[in-house]
Amino acid sequence: MKMQKYPIYLQLVKEDCSGVEHKGGLGDQNIANIADRVEAEFGKNAYSDFLRKHGHYPDVAQAATIGKLLGGRVRASDGSMQPPLSKADREAIKAIRRRRKDWKRIQDHLYRVNTAISALSVNEDEPETVARYFREHSSVPDSMQLEAAISWLNRFAEELRRNESQCSENADLCKRDHSVERWPEHRRNSNENEKEAS
């Protein structure tokens, strides 16, 4: 089922965030609720102040000014998001989305590795015993998949030991390599990648 998209009211370009949505639509009767949502997500700011003070949306020029002050875009009275995205903004958003995609792929890899290692670590019987029954009861379709898994896991273990050795010799280097600052956008939900700029 296709998810319904609701209007976005404030969007920070530098983070390519999905922005604040509201199910009530663009009617002025929702102004207070929208101001509450904006402040809950981004804190008190010029846009929420305008909504509370005037009780209506800013016009296009006002919205463009507020958006520039906030480093993003805000919903204007005509329903548009202001100011329009510049070429530099679009390129920045594309770069952010690429990094998010890379981080999502790494997260998927980490999940599979952690799951596999956790599952194998609880095996108590000797490998020779399990191997006797593997072919008959395995869900692995062919030996190539098994060999690929073994090869990848061996390379992973070797690289992990190498990294741990480097970390023991240079703790500062290890912290930099594994800092979340390498992937600053990962705090945002990955579903935001699918949101297109209005």
Q: Where are the domains of the chain?
A: 27-82, 139-176
DSSP annotation of 21 reads: B
Give 27's pLDDT tier (boundaries 50, 70, 90): low
Radius of gyration for the alpha carbons in the chain, expressed in angstroms and rounded = 25
Q: Residues near 193 by Cβ (< 8 Å), separated by ≥ 6?
A: 97, 100, 101, 104
- Coil/strand/helix, residue 82: strand
Q: Residues near 100 by Cβ (< 8 Å), separated by ≥ 6?
A: 16, 185, 186, 188, 190, 192, 193
Closest Cα partner for 192 from 67, 73, 93? 93
Model pLDDT for residues 162-179, shown as the tens digit of each residue: 888 888 777 666 665 444
DSSP annotation of 121 reads: H
| Separation between Cα atoms, residue 43 and residue 36, nearest integer Å | 9
| Separation between Cα atoms, residue 112 and residue 14, nearest integer Å | 31
This prediction has a pTM of 0.54
pLDDT for the residue 156 = 93
Model pLDDT for residues 56-110, shown as the tens digit of each residue: 999 999 999 999 998 888 999 988 989 988 888 788 888 888 988 999 999 999 9
